Structure 1
Amino acid sequence: MRMIRYTYIVLFLLLVSQAMAQETDTAPTGAIEDAQIIIEKDKPLTLPRASRVYKPSAIQPVVTDTVNLSFYLSQPQATFDPYAFSPEVKSLSKTEALEANTNYLKVGFGNYLSPEIRGFAGVADGNRRVGLFVDHESFARGPVRKDESAYSNTQVILQGSLSNTGLVVSPFVNYELERYYFYGYEDEPAEQGITDRIATNYFRLGSDFSGSNGAFSYTATPFLAFTTMGASGQEAFNRESNLGLNGSGTYKQNESLEFRLGTDYSYSGYQSGVIQKRHVFHLIPEVRYHNDRLLLAGGAALGVSSDSVGASTALGVFPRFKGSFAINEQFAIMANATGGFAANDLNTLRKRNRYLEDTLTLLNQREHVNMEIALEYKMRHDMSLEPFISYSNTANYAFFVPSGLDSARYTLRYDTGGLGRSAFGVRYRLINNRSQLSAEMAMVSYQTDTLAEAWYLPGTTLKLNYSQLIGEQWRVHGEMYVWDGLKGPVGGTSEAYVLPTIVDLSVGGSYQIDDRFSAYVDIENLLGIRYERYLNYPVRGITAKIGFIYRF
């Protein structure tokens, strides 16, 4: 295990050293010579001539594709959160398009009989804007038993914006349909095979409100959401409704000091045989101060949590702190600490693991503290290195364990006493107008209270993202994830099974044919390792797609 971790460290340092060796634009340097200026009453002002003429460099446009082509794991994808690499539905390159109102259509096709269609269309008229984003990707064949491990995901986002004097209203509607099979059987299923195709529907409706009046500004986001899971053509075996309101008001005393009062409320009603109701509320007063070198934001979250499972109500006071101090032009120290209640809602859980059993027990999570201290070292104007250490302690963190009724499905177990997580690592960033490289490596240890192990949480993580513009028309990119130390329970026992190390490498490129057309190719899981994020669920092997992007 130590040898593997040391290998990650060497690999990380080699990649950073290679990036440092790249030629990048440097900030102009030079000294301006002294000049004496004499101002006399009732005489015109005349500036002395400088002995050298300084001409600013011509501004070079940043040449990029309209669409940010990203790489994701084969199935399921995963991202790094404060506790784990959590599987989630395929991310979308929608943010830039929604904000910039960029219209495009992306169409591709790949092996496993996998079409991909993604696009955005929006119009803007003065202070009004509306946009529609659609994304679909499907795989008619999967890693095992062909169509019995097929997968598809469709997402639709409709977003608008209307601004008036002092008020901006931005309504939104999100819809997602995910289809898949429970194919993760340790032994071959019955002769009839896997017949139930599961459909998960997620719908969210709401609006963002923001405005200002002099020194006072405010935001508010009410929303309503529904999640259902069930076999196609049958009644849902998991369903949940969510209602929430997040908002804040800020008073700006002066350029350095402001006062903020935030609040959030959420209701979750889960139904699968019985109805479980949960409420979470926070009131968050804060004070923020900043100057050229210092940023301080401090306060507290006063929280209330209740759920019908334990028939109990809990109160808590949690930290809210964020600070940074620039020691000099190269070094800065940063720290933050948060905490609070959170609902383990069905939509969040199925993004971490879609292969869920019915009749789940959903409890509110209590994060006592989550804090991090980091030191930023700016090696160049476009390059930084950031070592960090972090610690968190959370009660009722949800772990996934195989169901006793169906080995291909997962149910929930909670560490009710509190899960401790300690981590140290380093982040690296290189960002300029032609190259973007980000890397993060972390070594994590867990301290469980009521569970034997921190099931399916990684002990060592490494994540790399790279993008390079070659000439003015070619762009290449790549992404790599490495996770080590994942453990899963064997059956209904506390015995641990150590999963093999996960290594997922993806590469791709695009060629801009003209102002409207680009061609692209993406290859995911280039090494073809059919690793298992969860036991008995191997991912697809090498997945390649080729297609085009049309802008309009």
Structure 2
Amino acid sequence: MKINIKHIFIACLMGVSSQSVLAQTEFNIDGEVQDAEVVIEKERKIELNKEYKLYEFIKWKPATATPVAKPSEFKWYIYDVANEPMQFAPAKAKVQQKEKSYQHYGKAGFGNYTSPLLDVSMTTAGDANQMVGLNIKHESFGTGEVDGKNSGTAASEINLYGAMIREQIKLESSLNYRLEKNYYYGYPEGTVVNNSDIKHNANFINLGLSATDNQLEDAWSYSAGANFKHYSDNFDVSENTFLTSIGVGYGEQFFLDTDLALSKYTDTGIDESRSYVRLNPYYRLTIQRLQLDVGLSASFQNDDIPDLSSSRFFPYAKASYSLTEDYTVFAKLDGGYTFNSLYDFAQEVGYLNQAVGIVNSQRSFDLTGGITGNLMEQLSVTAMVGYQSIKYLPILLNNAADQSRLDLIYDPEHSNVFTFKGSAQYEVNDAHQVSLGVNVYGYSSSSYDQIYHRPTSEILVSGDHQIIPKLNAKWNFTFTGGLVGRDQATDTDIILDAIPQLDLGLHYQLKEQWGIFLSGENLINKKYQRYLYYTQRGIQIKGGVTFRL
């Protein structure tokens, strides 16, 4: 008997249509499907686009307390870690009754060390293709562990965000302004210091604009982004930096990524202009489970430093291979320059000395690789190793004349950086999730016996628990070890104590729109030194209210 393909195709369409009609039926029983719809478009790629909501900066549940050794704190010397391949098994759909949507969130509280907290977010609603959001934050500590107000800190921040999606293009814009206030309080014990003489105010401005190709059927693809960054402080230091990146692809095989940086740094007696360009053309080869990118990394810069050439060419390769449906191995080979800026250094370390020199770093060799996958349905793991040979690696040292200022110096010889990173996420159930991260670093240099103020080990364990429907708890424990400082006056290395820190946050939903929170940071009460001579605060307790509209 002959099978008529046409008749089978028509029958399938009728079956799908009937299912679609049934899916649109409304049910009034709680927990049943409402307003669900199935749409099938022939020959159209199915993509999951990010849904940008500014109010996600403030979770209705209390945000996880910032750990002492947050990864971003060390990002300026962990160079270009390989991106993990984004390969996923088919998604498991969970259909449930739609919850009420909230567009405005807020959090206000107060704690010991005279520490007010305010965090408010507002977004527009109604049009899924365009939105505008506003976020305002303030957190401060009126006192600290050294001479009361002399070790206080404050940070105020305003964020604006906008997004617009059209048939052919997606546009995003952002504006961030941050004002930080602190004091150079790392002076010898017993020193009489005027509070106004050690005060430090820093301004950070970041204006960004990006565009992404939104055409699914076009062979060409593109993305472009631009950022203007400004840094200035009350010591007449200023830096303006313009960054842009452009990516072009054709036929999902040929790609070109371009980065450009232009910077102008001024200080008393200093007026320095810097430039950086990186071209990264590559070809993508896909053979069954293997995806291989092969190309060239070409970098150009104008830092007039001995032994730092104006151009550098290095082979570029990136690969990912699916061992099984659950496991993928990946690797990346790269080299060239890393563009350094005062904006990034000052944002991570608030006690930098004035008149710091800004120099690019040369990655003479950069190789990373690892494996990621799911040991079981609820447990995902990643392990990665890396080796970088870096020339002009930035190092932090206390100033010899004024130990409360941290100088930024560079290793003119090749520094070798070895890295191991492991992470795991375990979802016990919908109400309980636990994660673990372990980082191990090794450094060697012919110029320095130690790479100062950099940890050799970091551990982060965190959890998120919905104890009862109205009560949520979040916690994290961090351990940072291997930190070493140097006393320039005596030419001796000082091994800093390891830093264990435990943070806990509780949130209770009083009513639909109002709640209360209680948080504790550094509950172990370790008055540690992340940087030499800078003793940090002990237990920090805060409480307050939250709302959503």
Indicate whether the TM-score tops 0.5: yes
Cα 1:268/1:337, change in 2 over 3 Å:
same
Distance (whole Å) between structure 1 residues aligned to residue 293 and residue 420 of structure 2: 24
Other-structure match for 2:107? 106
- 2: CA distance between counterparts of 1:201 and 1:152? 12
Q: What is the rounded CA distance, in whole Å, between the counterparts of 2:288 and 2:105 in structure 1?
A: 41
In the alignment, does 2:256 pair up with 1:261?
yes
2:440 & 2:71 partners in 1: Cα distance?
20
The aligned residue for residue 237 of structure 1 is 236
* 1:461-505 per-position Cα deviation (integer Å, ceiling 9, x unaligned): 212222122232222111122111111111156531111111111
Q: What are the residue-to-residue correspondences of 1:148-547 with 2, within 5 Å?
A: 148-190=150-192, 192=194, 195-213=197-215, 214-230=218-234, 236-251=235-250, 253=251, 257-273=252-268, 274-290=270-286, 293-308=289-304, 313-431=309-427, 433-492=430-489, 494-547=491-544
Distance 2:381 2:70 in 1: 30
What TM-score results when the alignment is normalised by the length of structure 2? 0.80
- For the residues of structure 2 that align with 1:491 and 1:436, how far apart are their CA atoms? 46
Q: What 5-or-longer segments of structure 1 have no aligned partner?
A: 1-36, 47-56, 86-99, 231-235
Q: Deviations over 1:72-96 (max 9, x none)?
A: 14799964548479xxxxxxxxxxx
- Equivalent residues of 2:229, 2:343 under 8 A apart: no
Deviation at 1:194, TM superposition (A): 6.0
Q: 1:212 to 1:396 in 2, by over 3 A?
A: same
**Alpha-carbon distance in 2 for matches of 1:277, 1:435:** 52
TM-score, reference length from structure 1: 0.80
- Residues 372-404 of structure 1 show CA distances to partners (whole Å, capped at 9, x for unaligned) of 222335221120233332211211111111113
Q: Which whole-Å CA distance do the structure 2 matches of 1:148 and 1:77 have between them? A: 28
Change in CA separation of 1:76 and 1:472 when aligned onto 2, cut-off 3 Å: closer
- Contact 2:76-2:345 within 8 A present in 1 as well: no
Letter aligned with residue 542 of structure 1: I
- Aligned letter for 1:261? L
Deviates most, 302-311 or 413-422: 302-311
Select the residue among 66, 69, 85 that pairs with 1:72: 66
Find the residue that maps to 1:323 and give its secondary structure: strand
> For the aligned residues, what is the CA RMSD?
3.2
Call closer, same or farther: CA 1:369–1:549 in 2, change over 3 Å.
farther
- Which sections of structure 2, spanning at least 5 residues, go unmatched? 13-30, 34-57, 80-100
1:8 aligns with none
Q: Give the 3-state SS of the residue equivalent to 1:417 in structure 2.
A: strand
Q: 1:330 to 1:243 in 2, by over 3 A?
A: closer
Cα separation, 2, equivalents of 1:493 and 1:323: 49
Q: Distance in 2 between matches of 1:533 and 1:125?
A: 46
Query: Match of 1:462, SS?
Result: strand
TM-superposition CA deviations, 1:246-296 (whole Å, max 9, x none) = 111122x2xxx4322111100121112211222110111123345773333
With over 3 angstroms needed to count, the CA separation of the structure-2 counterparts of 1:218 and 1:332, relative to structure 1, is closer
Measured after TM superposition, the shift of residue 322 of structure 1 is: 2.9
Cα gap change, 1:515 to 1:193, in 2 (>3 Å)? closer
User: Is the alpha carbon distance of 1:175 and 1:82 closer, same or farther for their aligned partners in structure 2, counting shifts above 3 Å?
Assistant: closer
Report the number of matched residues. Answer: 481
Letter in 2 for 1:217: S
Distance 2:436 2:73 in 1: 13
State whether residues 183 and 194 of structure 1, in contact with CA within 8 Å, keep that contact through their aligned partners in structure 2. Answer: no
Alignment-mate amino acid for residue 63 of structure 2: L
| Cα distance change on mapping 1:203 and 1:193 into 2, 3 Å | closer
Query: Distance in 2 between the 1:523 and 1:77 partners?
Result: 21
Conservation of the 8 A alpha-carbon contact between 2:149 and 2:195: no
Q: Structure 1 residues 539, 505: closer, same or farther in 2, change over 3 A?
A: same
Aligned identity (percent) is: 23
CA contact (8 A) 1:441 1:462 kept: yes
Amino acid corresponding to residue 401 of structure 1 in structure 2: L
Query: 1:58 Cα shift?
Result: 8.1
- Does 1:132 pair with 2:130? no
